[in-house]
Amino acid sequence: MRVAVVCASQYGATMGIAERISAELGLAGLDVRVYDAARPPHAEDVAGYDAFVVGSAVYMGHWLKDATTFVRRSQPTLLEHRVWLFSSGPLGPETTDADGADVRESTVPAEIADFTNTLRPVGHRVFFGAIDPEALSLGHRVIRKFPGAAGKIPAGDFRDWPEIEAWAREIARALVKTA
Ligand SMILES: Cc1cc2nc3c(=O)[nH]c(=O)nc-3n(C[C@H](O)[C@H](O)[C@H](O)COP(=O)(O)O)c2cc1C
């Protein structure tokens, strides 16, 4: 069974998640290929896959444009297959916010409601992300210093690898069961 993992990543943290998911799916015996959504697969390549895992980094509450463009452009193909979505966003060591809400639920990006309606994905997960302040563009450095952003974009790698791998194994189990 062939699986395409398509990922939009500005600085590499989300691509790292995509690669880890791909490695787990490969360990389960699936034939996996990772694509950068900035250089997405051609329509004919996409047509050859049995399942899709599509992910994006989240900036200002939204998926990166390359990922949304891939989803919208490939919608006819995606609709015929099982699709899992993931987002890499929240930063910091806390999994709950000041109101006690799970950060992974309060940071679901804007596009997901629409994609849930149109694609009917098997699931969507938010994973904690990572940033290296030295690598940020000037624009992102400025946003990070806005008074309203104070402390909300802390530096560091908060990716939870066991959580990511467990999710990938769930996907593998679902696919292998029906292969
Ligand atoms: C300027 C800026 C804005 C961000 N906005 C959000 C946001 O709105 N929601 C969120 O969950 N994460 C946000 N993040 C965190 C990134 O999504 C996270 O660091 C992600 O893992 C980066 O992935 P990448 O290296 O693949 O681009 C922001 C980060 C920066 C630097």
> Which CATH number covers residue 73?
3.40.50.360
Neighbours of 114 (CB within 10 A): 12
Tokens 């769930």 belong to which residue?
Answer: 170
State residue 42's pLDDT score: 65
Closest residue by CA, ligand 1 atom 16: 89
Tokens 């690669």 belong to which residue?
Answer: 19
Closest residue by CA, ligand 1 atom 31: 140
Q: Which amino acid, 60?
A: M
State residue 47's pLDDT score: 79
Q: How far is the CA of 14 from the centre of ligand 1 (A)?
A: 10
Domain total for the chain? 1
State residue 150's pLDDT score: 67
From the CA of 17, give the closest atom in ligand 1: 26
Mean pLDDT by 10 residues, the chain (179 residues): 96 98 97 91 75 97 96 93 97 92 95 97 98 95 85 92 98 90
State residue 41's pLDDT score: 67
Six-digit token pair at 163?
A: 């959580």
State residue 174's pLDDT score: 97
CA distance 29 to 164: 18
Ligand 1 shell residues, CB under 6 Å: 9-15, 57-61, 88-91, 107, 129-131, 136, 140, 143-144, 153
CA distance 163 to 49: 25
Which residues constitute the domain of residue 104? 2-178
CB 177 within 8 A of CB 149: no
- b/e 28-62 (16+ beta carbons within 10 angstroms → b): bebebebbebeebbeeeebeebbbbbbbbbbeeee
State residue 177's pLDDT score: 85
From the CA of 61, give the closest atom in ligand 1: 8
Q: How far is the CA of 1 from the centre of ligand 1 (A)?
A: 32
The Cβ-side half-sphere exposure at 164, using a 13 Å CA radius, reads: 24
Collapsing DSSP to helix, strand or coil, 23 comes out as: helix
Q: How far is the CA of 125 from the centre of ligand 1 (A)?
A: 15
